[in-house]
Chain A
Amino acid sequence: MLPKLPSAEVRPLSSNSEITTPVVDAAREELLVAIKSSLGDAVVDSHLKPGDDIWIRVRNDAWQTSIKKLRDINSFDYFCFLSAIDWMPSPYGRGEDDPTEPTPQRDMTIRSGYAGGETRMQVFVRIVNSKTHIGLNVKADVSDAVPTIDSLITVFAGANWHEREAHEMFGIEFAGHPDLRKMYLPADFEGHPMRKDFPLLARMVKPWPGIVDVEPLPGGDDSGDSSDGDAS
């Protein structure tokens, strides 16, 4: 193919206008006030990054009604995705421990992200206004003892598969979901793989080669990418 040379056929661009992040985001701030007034005391916490996104956290028991209000009053009519986060740091780290050494001490304190949180598990959903294209991330705490939250299936029919996936991967029960069958894994699979205390088995049965390969690779550092094609 073509030889790899620094490109010669370039010409300067006259107007090089970069996209700058506004410090004050009037539209989103206004929206956040409107959201808080329509949801009332259901909103526990909120976070706004100007020019980027809004995060709000609602009470677990007000989850379904809040999303419904956001859809009907604040016209967030587009369902983007629903998922969950396990905020506990993994006890296995990145799976790169040397099995011959004792397990290193890790900071296991649970810290939540934007808009805070009181529990280890959180469910979050992203909904978007299809007219203004402004999105909103809504989070809700899910208690560790009884990880249950209301299903959004009556609000957004598209939540069906997303809730099935979150149920399978995180073990969260969605009350009112008609069919929480497993989405990907075999029906008799035990455990919830995306929880942080579920080890990545590939790293458990065979230690990460990074700790085994102490010799440098032959042929210097820049060996280039190789690609294998699993294309259709």
Chain B
Amino acid sequence: MLGDRQQLSYIAAQAADARLNLELETEGMTLNIGPQHPATHGTLRIIARLDGEQVVWAEPACGYMHRGYEKLAEVRTFPQVTTLVNRIDWLGSFANEVPFILAAEKLMGVEAPTRAQYIRTILFELSRIANVSLFLGDLGVQLGAITPVFLAFRDREYVLNLIESATGGRFHPNFDRIGGLKDDLPAGWIDETRAVMKKLRGFCDQIEDLLFGNEIFQSRTRGIGVIPRDVALQYGLSGANLRASGVDWDLRRDQSLPMMWNKADWKVWTHPDGDSFARCWIRLQETRESTKIVDQLLGSIPAGPVMAKVPKIIKVPEGEAWVSTENPLGEMGYYVVSRGDLGPFRVKIRSASFNNISITPWLLRGVYVPDIVTILASLYFILGDIDR
């Protein structure tokens, strides 16, 4: 198994170094990374105990951004919760609202009109593109290539402008409502989106040329931080991290939700290697697929209302519901318990990054110091998504 090989090479290196260490009397040291570090997308702190250049033990220290959304949701009404969950993964905010709204709709037995479902799916994919395009640029910076991040910020801006013109908010749209959407699309939006999707495909090609074909990039990422399939499943990894370990599982395809992904023709990419390169490569392909989904759905948006008939004061019937969607970072789900009240009784937020990062103590054992950054970058997390 690939993961075992990584551990074995560590043991072998340890044995080789042991005599040298005895002669030179080197002691282990503790390296503190963060809380402020560009590789951490927020304020993650990693404590690593080193032996020479290798990590013996490492663990992230979370909690620098814990906002207690699960507790806060208990004192809010159902429509108010979207404002909170917007700020969990702040790069793909609209995608955070959708599973919560779907869970509330499931409990109420309400379904959004078809037009709203189309627009929801399109905005969902746009937030994925905005989120992952920044990852693709940022990836370069973390490995020492400066150019891609400028391209990423330039092209992400087009997508954010689209999201802003449709929803009114660049980062925190708060646009999803129980039973539909706040508003319809503005005039001319569809043509503009088509043009932007074309630009974004160009951006993906550019990143592929600049970064993925780069020899240094490949040698920094290939074979680094290998996660075997069974370990990925055990730790509950999701999204690109899971598919890079060869698990063919995408919640957009494998789940029946009142969303419109099944109306478009697209492909779920997997990679057998499970290393950092595979994870980054999957995200690149997914951005391309997202632009295709958006393009196809734009052409078939039906006419009609964007809001179903729901009462002004929303009371959600008693029950429990679990809805999760394939968010930019992975599986994002809400376990909502309602007591027939105005607000939820309990909301468990299952965020992708929490599970994705919980593998780091296992994964960082035995790697070299520069690879810590590579692995963290390739796992891709947003701090708000870990701490909630």
User: 7 interchain pairs (CB within 8 A)?
Assistant: A2-B165, A13-B302, A52-B106, A80-B333, A86-B346, A94-B342, A183-B63
A184 touches B62 (CB 8 A): yes
Chain B, interface SS category: loop
Residues of the A chain whose Cβ atoms lie less than 8 Å from the Cβ of B255: 133
**Given A7-B186, A13-B302; A94-B170 close (CB under 8 Å):** no
- 6 further contact pairs, Cβ within 8 A, besides A10-B302, A79-B236: A85-B337, A94-B76, A94-B343, A137-B322, A161-B354, A203-B75
Q: How large is the interface on B (under 10, 10 to 19, 20 to 34, 35 or more residues)?
A: 35 or more
Q: Please name the residue on chain B nearest to A169 by beta carbon.
A: B70
Question: Taking the complex as formed, is A100 at the interface, i.e. its CB lies under 8 A from any CB of chain B?
Answer: no
Question: Taking the complex as formed, is B161 at the interface, i.e. its CB lies under 8 A from any CB of chain A?
Answer: yes
- Minimal beta-carbon separation of A3 from chain B (angstroms): 6
- Minimal beta-carbon separation of A24 from chain B (angstroms): 16
**Given A133-B255, A225-B169; A126-B75 close (CB under 8 Å):** no
Chain A 93-107 interface mask (CB, 8 Å, partner B; 1/0):
011100000000000
CA distance A51 to B106 in the complex (A): 11
Question: Taking the complex as formed, is A55 at the interface, i.e. its CB lies under 8 A from any CB of chain B?
Answer: yes
Question: Taking the complex as formed, is B184 at the interface, i.e. its CB lies under 8 A from any CB of chain A?
Answer: yes
CA distance A10 to B382 in the complex (A): 36
Question: Taking the complex as formed, is B35 at the interface, i.e. its CB lies under 8 A from any CB of chain A?
Answer: no
A81 touches B164 (CB 8 A): no
A5 touches B174 (CB 8 A): no
Q: Which of A2, A52, A158, A228 contacts B186 (CB 8 A)?
A: A2
B235 touches A79 (CB 8 A): yes
Residues of the A chain whose Cβ atoms lie less than 8 Å from the Cβ of B324: 80
- Minimal beta-carbon separation of A91 from chain B (angstroms): 13
Chain A 1-18 interface mask (CB, 8 Å, partner B; 1/0):
111111111111100101
Residues of the A chain whose Cβ atoms lie less than 8 Å from the Cβ of B189: 2, 7
CA distance A86 to B358 in the complex (A): 25
Question: Taking the complex as formed, is B178 at the interface, i.e. its CB lies under 8 A from any CB of chain A?
Answer: no
Question: Taking the complex as formed, is B203 at the interface, i.e. its CB lies under 8 A from any CB of chain A?
Answer: no
B236 touches A133 (CB 8 A): no
Q: How large is the interface on A (under 10, 10 to 19, 20 to 34, 35 or more residues)?
A: 35 or more
Chain A, interface SS category: loop
Q: Please name the residue on chain A nearest to B86 by beta carbon.
A: A227
A200 touches B72 (CB 8 A): yes
Interface centre among A16, A113, A135 (most CB of B within 10 A): A113
CA distance A89 to B75 in the complex (A): 12
CA distance A185 to B66 in the complex (A): 8
CA distance A7 to B184 in the complex (A): 7
CA distance A232 to B130 in the complex (A): 12
Interface of chain B residues 212 through 240 with chain A (CB within 8 A)? 230-231, 233-236
Interface centre among A10, A83, A89 (most CB of B within 10 A): A10
Chain B 40-65 interface mask (CB, 8 Å, partner A; 1/0):
01100000000000000000001100
B164 touches A1 (CB 8 A): yes
